[in-house]
C-alpha cells in the first residue's frame, strides 16, 4: 500500500515489537518465580522431614543408652538386694561370692565385670569374663567411681543405696553400677564400716553398639571415628559430665528420599505450567496482533476517503509531510498540484448526488491512471484533489502532467445515460529539496489554483510570489470595503434610461460607486465580486436600494432599476428586507425593477423560483440582466416570469460588425416580444446603434449616448430638460 504513510506503519510495528518483548519477559519471570517457589517449598519439606527423622533417631539412641544402663542397674539390684547374698557375703563365704558373682561374668549378656568391695574400698573379689583380675578398680575405672561410692554409701535410710552411670575403663566405656549388698527388703543389720558393696560393669563395645542398632533400628549406629564431626550424635558422659565418647548414626534423610521421589512429578508439573503460559502467551500475542491490525485498519480508514478510495485530507497532509522530509533527505524537489473541478456543483445540482458521486469516482479513477503509483493522490475536498510527487525535474514532469490532466477533462464524462462536461483548474507549487513545508506548499498551490480559476478556469497556474501580494492587496481591499460600508461612504450614481421612441428620460439605473480613501475610485467590477465572495453584498445591496429609493422620491415620473447579486438570494429574509426598504422610503414597488443575472437561476432553479415569487408579491418587477453575455436562453424568461430583458452591451457593440449580428439581435428581441416581455438595450454609444435597436423592437435604451452614470444633482438638471447631452432625437 503505497498510500499509507510510512510513519504510521513504522510506529505501529515498533509498538507491537516492544509489547511482545515485555510480555515475553513477564512470562519468563513468572515461570522462573513459580519454579523457585515450588523448589524452595519442596526443599523445606524435605529438610523438615530429615530433621524430624534425625530427632527421632537421636531420641532412640539416647533411649537405648538409658536402657543399656538401666538393664545393668536392674541386674545389679537383683544381685545386691538378695537375702542369700546378705547372709553369705557378710558371713565371708568366698566360694559363694565367686560362684554367684565372679563366675557369672562369663558369657553374660548383662554384665562382664563383677567386684565386691568393703566400705574402705578394699577389693574382696574382682572377676571379669569369668576370671579373676588383679587390677585395682581405682585404676581401672575413672574418677567417677568414687562418686558412685559416695552416693550409694551415704544414702540415708529412705534412699536406695545404689548408683549407676557410664564410666571410662581401661577397656573402653562401660555402664557401671554400685550397690550395697543387703536383704531384699532393704534391711541390713550391719554397721556402716563393715558394709560390702557389689559393682557390676557392662562394657559398651562395638559389638554391643551393633546390637543396640539392631534392636532399636538405628541405621549405622557406631562410635565416632577420629575427627568425625556431625550433628547426628549423642554424647556419653560420666557422672562428672566428662565426655567419654559419642554415638553417631547414618541419617536416613527421608525428606531427600521423598524429594527424589516427587522431583520428576514436580518437573513435569512445572513443564505443564510453562506450556500453559506459553500457549496463553501465543494466543495473547495473536489477539494483540489482531488488535494492532484492527487499529491499523481503523487508522487507514481515518486517512482515506470512502467515496474515491484515495487518501483524504488528513491522510494527505501526513503523506505530504513525509514526502517533504524525504525530499529534504534525498535532495529532490517536491511538486504539488492542487485541482478544483469547474462546473461540478452544477452537475451535482442538476443531476443529483448519485450522479455527482459517480462523477467523483470517475475523476478519481482517471487521475489515478494519469499520476501512476509513485505519486500521492488524494481527495482533499468535495471537488478538490491533490497530487504530490518527488522528482529531479519537477517543472517538466508537472507541465506534462498538467497537459494530460486538462486533456482528460476535455472529454465529457458519460454516467449512465447522462453526459456531464466539467473541467478543472490546477494550481502548482514546488518545494525545492523539501525546503518549503507541506503546509506552506498547500497554501501556495491553493493560491495558484485560485488564480487559475479567476483567470478563466480550465487551466494550470504556477505559484508566483506576487500572488501573495495580490492576495494581500485583496485582503486590504476587503477590510477597507467593510469599513466603507459601515461608515456609509459608498455613493450611488444614476444612469439615464430613455424611451426608445421619444428618447425621453423615463428612468434611471442605480449603480454603486466607491471612492476608496487614500487610493481613489475602485471599479464595481473589482469591489462587487469581493463583496459577493465575503458576504458584504447583503449590506451593500440594501444600502444601494435604500439610497436609490430615497432619491427617486423627488423624481415621481421616473422608474428605478437596481442591481441584485445572486448571493443576496441566499438570505431567506431578502424579500422582507426589500419590502421594509420600500415602506421606510414610502416607495411604490411598481416603480422599481430588480435586475439580476441568470447565474443563480441555473444553480438553484427551485429556490430561485420561490424567492422570485416572494419578491413579485411585493409588486416589484424583475429584469434579466446581461442577456447574451452568459448562457441565458429565452426559455428562462418565461420559466421564471421575468418582466423585462436587458440586452448586454457586448451584443449591442457586435452590431457594428455586420449583418449576422443584426439578425441575431432581431431574432432575440422578437422572441422576447412574442412572450410579451419588453426589452432594454444597454451600452448604446452611437446613434446608429440606437436606431438599429429601436427598429429591432427594444422599447428602452441606456448608454453613454444618453448619459454616463451621474449624480442625483446631474439627473435633476436633465429632468424635464429634454435631451441629455450627446443625443439627438430621431
Chain positions contacting Ca ion, by CB under 5 A: 563, 595, 625-626
Q: Give the interface size with ligand C2E as a residue count (CB under 6 A).
A: 23
Among 371, 512, 522, 671, binds ligand C2E (CB under 6 A): 512
Closest CA to 680 of 633, 627, 638: 627
Q: Which of residues 615-674 bind ligand C2E (CB under 6 A)?
A: 625-626, 649
Question: Is 709 near ligand C2E (CB under 6 A)?
Answer: yes
Q: Cell 545393668 maps to which residue?
A: 72
Question: Is 528 near ligand C2E (CB under 6 A)?
Answer: yes
Nearer to ligand C2E, 251 or 563 (CB): 563
Question: Is 564 near ligand C2E (CB under 6 A)?
Answer: yes
Among 96, 216, 408, 704, binds ligand C2E (CB under 6 A): 704
**Contact string 478-497 vs ligand C2E (x = CB under 6 A):** -----------------x--
Q: Cell 494550481 maps to which residue?
A: 427
Question: Is 715 near ligand C2E (CB under 6 A)?
Answer: no
Q: How far is the CB of 539 from ligand C2E (least distance, A)?
A: 11
Task: Give burial (CB, 10 Å; 0-12/13-18/19+) of 54.
Answer: middle
Q: How far is the CB of 646 from Ca ion (least distance, A)?
A: 5
* Cell numbers that stand for 344 in this block: 461540478
Among 165, 255, 541, 579, binds ligand C2E (CB under 6 A): 541
Residue 709 interacting entry, from ligand C2E, Ca ion, none, C-beta within 5 to 8 Å by type: ligand C2E
Nearer to ligand C2E, 438 or 496 (CB): 496
d(CA 597, CA 602): 10
Among 332, 348, 565, 593, binds ligand C2E (CB under 6 A): 565
Nearer to ligand C2E, 525 or 713 (CB): 525
Q: How far is the CB of 524 from Ca ion (least distance, A)?
A: 10
Per DSSP, the three-state class of 111 is coil
What number of residues does the chain have? Answer: 730
Core vs surface per residue 541-564: b (16+ CB within 10 A) or e: bbbbbbbbbbbbeebeebbbbbbb
Q: How far is the CB of 530 from ligand C2E (least distance, A)?
A: 12
Nearer to Ca ion, 426 or 508 (CB): 508
Nearer to ligand C2E, 335 or 562 (CB): 562
* Helix, strand, coil share of the chain (percent; to 5): 55, 20, 25
Closest CA to 122 of 217, 40, 195: 195
Q: How far is the CB of 622 from ligand C2E (least distance, A)?
A: 14
Binding segment for ligand C2E (CB under 6 A), chosen from 153-161, 261-269, 499-507, 680-688, is: 680-688
Q: How far is the CB of 588 from ligand C2E (least distance, A)?
A: 20
12 within 8 A of 292, measured Cβ to Cβ: yes
Residue 162 CB contacts under 8 Å (≥ 6 apart), including other chains? 73, 76, 77, 80, 152, 155, 177, 178, 179, 180
Nearer to ligand C2E, 165 or 496 (CB): 496
Closest CA to 22 of 295, 292, 285: 285
Residue 549 interacting entry, from Ca ion, ligand C2E, none, C-beta within 5 to 8 Å by type: none
d(CA 124, CA 133): 11
Among 144, 425, 551, 563, binds ligand C2E (CB under 6 A): 563
Per DSSP, the three-state class of 197 is strand
d(CA 653, CA 683): 8
Can you list the positions of beta strands (E) in 343-383? 376-381
Q: Which residues make beta-bridge pairs with 388? A: 336, 376
d(CA 561, CA 716): 17
What is the SS3 assignment for 667-701?
HHHHHHHHCCCCEEECCCCCHHHHHHHHHHCCCEE
Q: How far is the CB of 719 from ligand C2E (least distance, A)?
A: 19
Q: How far is the CB of 534 from ligand C2E (least distance, A)?
A: 14
418 within 8 A of 373, measured Cβ to Cβ: no
Residue 541 interacting entry, from ligand C2E, Ca ion, none, C-beta within 5 to 8 Å by type: ligand C2E
Backbone angles phi, psi at 124, to 5 degrees: -100, -25
* Cell numbers that stand for 474 in this block: 485583496
Nearer to ligand C2E, 93 or 643 (CB): 643
Q: How far is the CB of 485 from ligand C2E (least distance, A)?
A: 12
Residue 221 interacting entry, from ligand C2E, Ca ion, none, C-beta within 5 to 8 Å by type: none
Q: How far is the CB of 683 from Ca ion (least distance, A)?
A: 8
Alpha helices, H only, 81-102: 83-90, 94-100
Q: How far is the CB of 9 from Ca ion (least distance, A)?
A: 59
Binding segment for ligand C2E (CB under 6 A), chosen from 13-21, 252-260, 520-528, 632-640, is: 520-528
Q: How far is the CB of 556 from Ca ion (least distance, A)?
A: 23
d(CA 563, CA 506): 18
Among 95, 261, 525, 713, binds ligand C2E (CB under 6 A): 525
Closest CA to 730 of 707, 708, 705: 705
Residues forming contacts to ligand C2E in the complex (CB under 6 A) are 495, 511-512, 523-525, 528, 541, 544, 563-565, 595, 625-626, 649, 682-685, 703-704, 709
Amino acid at each position: 500500500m503505497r498510500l499509507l504513510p510510512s510513519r504510521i506503519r513504522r510506529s505501529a510495528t515498533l509498538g507491537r515489537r516492544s509489547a511482545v518483548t515485555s510480555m515475553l519477559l513477564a512470562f519468563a519471570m513468572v515461570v522462573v518465580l513459580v519454579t523457585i517457589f515450588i523448589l524452595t517449598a519442596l526443599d523445606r519439606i524435605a529438610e523438615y522431614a530429615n530433621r524430624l527423622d534425625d530427632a527421632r533417631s537421636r531420641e532412640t539412641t539416647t533411649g537405648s543408652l538409658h536402657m543399656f544402663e538401666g538393664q545393668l542397674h536392674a541386674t545389679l539390684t537383683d544381685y545386691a538386694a538378695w537375702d542369700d547374698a546378705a547372709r553369705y557375703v557378710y558371713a565371708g563365704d568366698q566360694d559363694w561370692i565367686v560362684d554367684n558373682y565372679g563366675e557369672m561374668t562369663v558369657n553374660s549378656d548383662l554384665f562382664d565385670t563383677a567386684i565386691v568391695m568393703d566400705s574402705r574400698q578394699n577389693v574382696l573379689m574382682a572377676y571379669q569374663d569369668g576370671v579373676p583380675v588383679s587390677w585395682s578398680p581405682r585404676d581401672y575405672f575413672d574418677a567417677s567411681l568414687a562418686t558412685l561410692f559416695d552416693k550409694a554409701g551415704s544414702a540415708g535410710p529412705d534412699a536406695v543405696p545404689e548408683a549407676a552411670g557410664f564410666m571410662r575403663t581401661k577397656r573402653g566405656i562401660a555402664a557401671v553400677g554400685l550397690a550395697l549388698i543387703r536383704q531384699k527388703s532393704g534391711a541390713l543389720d550391719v554397721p556402716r564400716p563393715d558394709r560390702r558393696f557389689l559393682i557390676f560393669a557392662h562394657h559398651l563395645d562395638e559389638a554391643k553398639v551393633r546390637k543396640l542398632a539392631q534392636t532399636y533400628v538405628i541405621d549405622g549406629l557406631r562410635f565416632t571415628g577420629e575427627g568425625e564431626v556431625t550433628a547426628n550424635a549423642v554424647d556419653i558422659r560420666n557422672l562428672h559430665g566428662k565426655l567419654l565418647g559419642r554415638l553417631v548414626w547414618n541419617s536416613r534423610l527421608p525428606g531427600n528420599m521423598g524429594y527424589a521421589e516427587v522431583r520428576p512429578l514436580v518437573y513435569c508439573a512445572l513443564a505443564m505450567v510453562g506450556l500453559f503460559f506459553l500457549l496463553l502467551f501465543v494466543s495473547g500475542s495473536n489477539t494483540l496482533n489482531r488488535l494492532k491490525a484492527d487499529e491499523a485498519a481503523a487508522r487507514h480508514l481515518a486517512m482515506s476517503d470512502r467515496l474515491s478510495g484515495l487518501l483524504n485530507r488528513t491522510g494527505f497532509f501526513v503523506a505530504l509531510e513525509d514526502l517533504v522530509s524525504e525530499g529534504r533527505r534525498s535532495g529532490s524537489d517536491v511538486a504539488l498540484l492542487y485541482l478544483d473541478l469547474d462546473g461540478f456543483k452544477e452537475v451535482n445540482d442538476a443531476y443529483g448526488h448519485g450522479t455527482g458521486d459517480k462523477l467523483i469516482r470517475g475523476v478519481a479513477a482517471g487521475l489515478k491512471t494519469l499520476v501512476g503509483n509513485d505519486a500521492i493522490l488524494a481527495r482533499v475536498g468535495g471537488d478538490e484533489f491533490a497530487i504530490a510527487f518527488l522528482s529531479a525535474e519537477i517543472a517538466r514532469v508537472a507541465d506534462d502532467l498538467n497537459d494530460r490532466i486538462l486533456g482528460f477533462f476535455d472529454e465529457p464524462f458519460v454516467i449512465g445515460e447522462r453526459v456531464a462536461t466539467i473541467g478543472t483548474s490546477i494550481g502548482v507549487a514546488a518545494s525545492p529539496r523539501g525546503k518549503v513545508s507541506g503546509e506552506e506548499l498547500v497554501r501556495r498551490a491553493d493560491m495558484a489554483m485560485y488564480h487559475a480559476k479567476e483567470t478563466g478556469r480550465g487551466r494550470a497556474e504556477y505559484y508566483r510570489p506576487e500572488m501573495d501580494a495580490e492576495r494581500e492587496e485583496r485582503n486590504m481591499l476587503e477590510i477597507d470595503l467593510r469599513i466603507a460600508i459601515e461608515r456609509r461612504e459608498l455613493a450611488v450614481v444614476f444612469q439615464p434610461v430613455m424611451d426608445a421612441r421619444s428618447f425621453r428620460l423615463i428612468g434611471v439605473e442605480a449603480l454603486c460607486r466607491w471612492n476608496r480613501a487614500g487610493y481613489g475610485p475602485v471599479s464595481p467590477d473589482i469591489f462587487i465580486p469581493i463583496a459577493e465572495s465575503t458576504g458584504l453584498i447583503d449590506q451593500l445591496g440594501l444600502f444601494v436600494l435604500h439610497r436609490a429609493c430615497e432619491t427617486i422620491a423627488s423624481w415621481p415620473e421616473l422608474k428605478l432599476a437596481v442591481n441584485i447579486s445572486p448571493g443576496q438570494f441566499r438570505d431567506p429574509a431578502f424579500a422582507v428586507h426589500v419590502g421594509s426598504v420600500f415602506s421606510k422610503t414610502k416607495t411604490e414597488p411598481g416603480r422599481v425593477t430588480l435586475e439580476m443575472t441568470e447565474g443563480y437561476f441555473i444553480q438553484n432553479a427551485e429556490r430561485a423560483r420561490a424567492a422570485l415569487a416572494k419578491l413579485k408579491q411585493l409588486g416589484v418587477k424583475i429584469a434579466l440582466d446581461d442577456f447574451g453575455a452568459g448562457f441565458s436562453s429565452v426559455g428562462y424568461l418565461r420559466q421564471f416570469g421575468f418582466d423585462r430583458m436587458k440586452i448586454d452591451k457586448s451584443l449591442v457593440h457586435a452590431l457594428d460588425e455586420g449583418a449576422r449580428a443584426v439578425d441575431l439581435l432581431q431574432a432575440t428581441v422578437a422572441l422576447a416580444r412574442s412572450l410579451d416581455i419588453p426589452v432594454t438595450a444597454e451600452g448604446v454609444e452611437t446613434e446608429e446603434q440606437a436606431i438599429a435597436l429601436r427598429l429591432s423592437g427594444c422599447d428602452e435604451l441606456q448608454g453613454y449616448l444618453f448619459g454616463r452614470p451621474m449624480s442625483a444633482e446631474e439627473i435633476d438638471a436633465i429632468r424635464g430638460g429634454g435631451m441629455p447631452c450627446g443625443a439627438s432625437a430621431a
